[in-house]
Amino acid sequence: MNNALIIGQYVPGDSLVHRLDPRTKITIIFFFVFIVFLANNVASYGILTVFALASMFTSKVPIRFIIKGLTPVWFLIIFTFILHLFVTREGTVIAEFWIFKIYSGGLIQGIAISFRFFLLILVTSLLTLTTTPIEITDAIEDMLHPLKRFKFPVHELALMMSISLRFIPTLLQETDKISRAQASRGVDFKTGPVKERIKAIVPLLVPLFVSAFKRAEELAMAMEARGYQGGEGRTKLRELKIERRDIFIFILFAFVIAGLFMARTYS
């Protein structure tokens, strides 16, 4: 069995970015997503780029992991670029072939938009690269806490998330086991027409679901036996703490925003 199986794409480390409170990271990324759209000139893009690259290098996550994280979205970035390149009709025509005319405005627009996209993905993937899924769950539980007043089941939601995270590897191992068992009985998952291959999934899914339900039932019983009675009066082992470094990062980020607005206005 694969012992090195990692859920999500967390890269263990001890950098400043790793040690930041997950709530700090989520809040900053939340605002970053907005301010990316405020950038409108080279200087403002420069500020955002410096911020993103600085966070990347502080995190000490090897570049290849970041590139790996970006692979699924390269297509989108390039697609955005091409779309803007051909569709925008501003500025002067800089190239012309067949029925297409490429305008200078389109080129600038294309670069700007796809670069925005790139920055967004870079920064958000840094969150998942430097934060364990369980920390993210804790942070979400804590940040959604005010919603409790509106009877929103915050604790239950967080528990569901953490239990699903805990069972993902277990169910993957089980899928592997069942697919081997079915393959040994002659089910062919790998060859044949697509229709046949989709049909072959059925003998894999049925036992998997049956066992997942059985697990759920047993887990519920075990939790009850261990005194689980909902979120009321519960304490937590894991604690989130805003440290001096978090405050420092917030202040730094405030300067980034201020710098961005200045770059917008004075150019």
Partner 1 sequence: MRKKLVEFRNVSFRYGDEGPWVLKNCSFEIYENEWVAIIGHNGSGKSTIAKLLNGLLFPQEGEIIIDGKQVNEASIWSIRKEVGMVFQNPDNQFVGATVQDDVAFGMENRGVPRDEMKKRITETLSAVRMQDYRLIEPHRLSGGQKQRVAIASVLAISPKVLILDEATAMLDPSGRKEIMDTVGSIQHLNGLSLITITHDLQEVVQADRVIVMNSGEIWKEALPREIFREKDALRKIGLDVPFVAILADELKQAGVNLQAAPLNHEELLEDLWTLHSKT
Binding site for partner 1 (CB under 8 A): 1, 3, 5, 133-134, 162-163, 165-166, 169-170, 173, 214-215, 218-219, 221-229, 233-239
Rounded CA separation 237/51 (Å): 34
Cβ 13 to partner 1, closest distance in Å?
Answer: 15
Cβ 134 to partner 1, closest distance in Å?
Answer: 5
The two structure tokens encoding residue 263: 């770059």
Cβ 149 to partner 1, closest distance in Å?
Answer: 21
1 vs 198, which CB is nearer to partner 1? 1
Cβ–Cβ < 8 Å for 120, 137: no
34 vs 239, which CB is nearer to partner 1? 239
Cβ 120 to partner 1, closest distance in Å?
Answer: 28
184 vs 235, which CB is nearer to partner 1? 235
Residue whose C-alpha is closest to residue 48's, from 250, 265, 251, 259: 259
Cβ 38 to partner 1, closest distance in Å?
Answer: 38
Helix (H, G, I), strand (E, B) or coil at 4: coil
Cβ–Cβ < 8 Å for 130, 13: yes
Terminal-residue alpha carbon distance, the chain: 59
50 vs 242, which CB is nearer to partner 1? 242
DSSP 145: G
174 vs 183, which CB is nearer to partner 1? 174
DSSP 101: E
User: Which run of H or E residues covers position 235?
Assistant: none
191 vs 229, which CB is nearer to partner 1? 229
Query: In sequence order, what are the beta bridge partners of 102?
Result: 95
Residue whose C-alpha is closest to residue 19's, from 186, 131, 107: 131
Rounded CA separation 147/31 (Å): 20
Rounded CA separation 150/87 (Å): 46
12 vs 72, which CB is nearer to partner 1? 12
Cβ 255 to partner 1, closest distance in Å?
Answer: 35
